[in-house]
Copies of this chain bind each other. A is one copy, B any other.
Amino acid sequence: MKLSTKRVTIVDVASKSGVSKSTVSRVLRGDGDVSEDVRLKVTRAAKRMNYQPSVFARSLRSQRSQAIGLIIPDIANPFFPEVVRSIQNTADARGYTVLLANSDWHVERERKYLDFARRYHLDGIIINPVSISPAELKKSGCPVVVIGSRAAYGVFDTVASDTLGSITCAVDHLVARGHVDLALIAGPIGNPGATVRARAFRESIAAHGLAVDEARILWFDFTRVGGQAASRALAAAAPRPTAVVCGNDLIAIGLMAGLRDAGVDVPGDLSVIGIDDIDAAAMTFPPLTSVSKDKTLLGARAATLLIDRIEGKLPDAPARERLDTTLIERSSVAPPRANERRVIARP
């Protein structure tokens, strides 16, 4: 019975099994040549003594941490948990630890965590950038995988859920159902994600030969209260659009709640379509039609990409992955009422 529970180190294992620490190290790392009986002796001793190598000593010497950083805007946003989980599982399977950080949508916090990455010798970073510049990201010095589709981050390996495609998909669906007067709730003004949504919306509308009216693009936060606020604008609009695509599901859900309070029927008076297909989308009433992103796949691909890059298994050119998107039809979309089927404007 020991009084002070001293840490068991590699030299303890070494002396116990009658070899040098170098040899123990070799055995445990499964590296270099060791004779079979030595290998056995050492592994057995290590097991028996319940030896756990110190990651600090290891990382200090080898200058690698076997850890990656994951910087997302907000874990409480329902889009992320599943992505995080998938990244963790993937990284775990390949022997990497993941450190999670919330940037809370602030650049300063993104910067802070980038410094943090340096302090921790992080081997790589997965980030869903809010507004940190690619240049700053670049000088972190370690491999970076960006989640998102903004062109500015083209220097990095990228895995995107094809926001552009999602919007197009939503617009196509609505138009196919006979809608010609669509609105978009893009996101907060100035937000890059919101900007690409707006652009994609304009392009899709135009592609269908419809006129794009800037007043039909609304700027509200990517949150439930954003959607609620949007509902007031939409309920009051005259004429009112017959369908609205929302920048994400949270907006859509807030919007539907607001619309119900305002006495606007969904989908009778107004069709609503969301993006992300978060869990809650299936729980609303009416259940929300949404463009689904495969979050598990997204996470797995991001992690795989990063680790492959870290381990030098990738060609130099930045990888660019775009994940397919699928429409999940539920009940928040219907054809417009007959008297609202206006003629399609052909420019």
Task: Report A's interface with B, CB cutoff 8 A.
Answer: 5, 7, 52-57, 59-60, 63, 65, 74-76, 78, 80-82, 84-85, 88-89, 97-102, 115-116, 118-121, 141, 224, 253, 257, 279-280, 282-286
Find out whether the CB atom of A78 lies under 8 angstroms from the CB atom of B78: yes
Find out whether the CB atom of A119 lies under 8 angstroms from the CB atom of B60: no
Chain B residues within an 8 Å CB radius of A5? 141
**What's the minimum C-beta distance from A296 to chain B, rounded to whole angstroms?**
10
With the chains together, A286 CA to B54 CA distance in Å? 53
Find out whether the CB atom of B99 lies under 8 angstroms from the CB atom of A54: no
The complex is assembled from copies of this chain, and their number is 2
Knowing that A56-B56, A88-B101, A224-B282 are A-B contacts, what are 4 other residue pairs whose CB atoms are under 8 Å apart, sorted by A's residue number? A57-B60, A75-B81, A81-B81, A97-B99
Chain B residues within an 8 Å CB radius of A141? 5
**What's the minimum C-beta distance from A259 to chain B, rounded to whole angstroms?**
13
Chain B residues within an 8 Å CB radius of A65? 56
**What's the minimum C-beta distance from A120 to chain B, rounded to whole angstroms?**
6
Find out whether the CB atom of A52 lies under 8 angstroms from the CB atom of B118: yes
Find out whether the CB atom of B53 lies under 8 angstroms from the CB atom of A56: no
With the chains together, A118 CA to B78 CA distance in Å? 32
Chain B residues within an 8 Å CB radius of A82? 76
Chain B residues within an 8 Å CB radius of A119? 52-55
With the chains together, A343 CA to B80 CA distance in Å? 49
Q: Which residue of B lies closest to A82 (CB)?
A: B76
Chain B residues within an 8 Å CB radius of A84? 75
With the chains together, A248 CA to B179 CA distance in Å? 40
- Selected from B52, B63, B74, B85, the residue in CB contact (under 8 A) with A102 is B85
Chain B residues within an 8 Å CB radius of A60? 54, 56-57, 60
With the chains together, A280 CA to B279 CA distance in Å? 9
Chain B residues within an 8 Å CB radius of A7? 63
Q: Which residue of B lies closest to A62 (CB)?
A: B56
With A56-B121, A119-B54, A280-B279 already in contact, the answer to whether A74 and B78 are too (CB < 8 A) is: no
Chain B residues within an 8 Å CB radius of A78? 78, 81, 279
**What's the minimum C-beta distance from A143 to chain B, rounded to whole angstroms?**
14
Q: Which residue of B lies closest to A284 (CB)?
A: B283
Chain B residues within an 8 Å CB radius of A99? 97, 99
- Selected from B54, B75, B121, the residue in CB contact (under 8 A) with A75 is B75
Q: Which 5 A-B pairs have the closest CB atoms?
A: A285-B285, A56-B60, A280-B280, A76-B81, A56-B59
With the chains together, A285 CA to B332 CA distance in Å? 13
**What's the minimum C-beta distance from A331 to chain B, rounded to whole angstroms?**
11
Q: Which residue of B lies closest to A254 (CB)?
A: B283
With the chains together, A52 CA to B111 CA distance in Å? 13
Find out whether the CB atom of B102 lies under 8 angstroms from the CB atom of A55: no
Most chain B CB atoms below 10 A, which of A53, A285, A286:
A285
Find out whether the CB atom of A55 lies under 8 angstroms from the CB atom of B120: yes
With the chains together, A100 CA to B75 CA distance in Å? 12
- Selected from B85, B118, B120, B280, the residue in CB contact (under 8 A) with A283 is B280
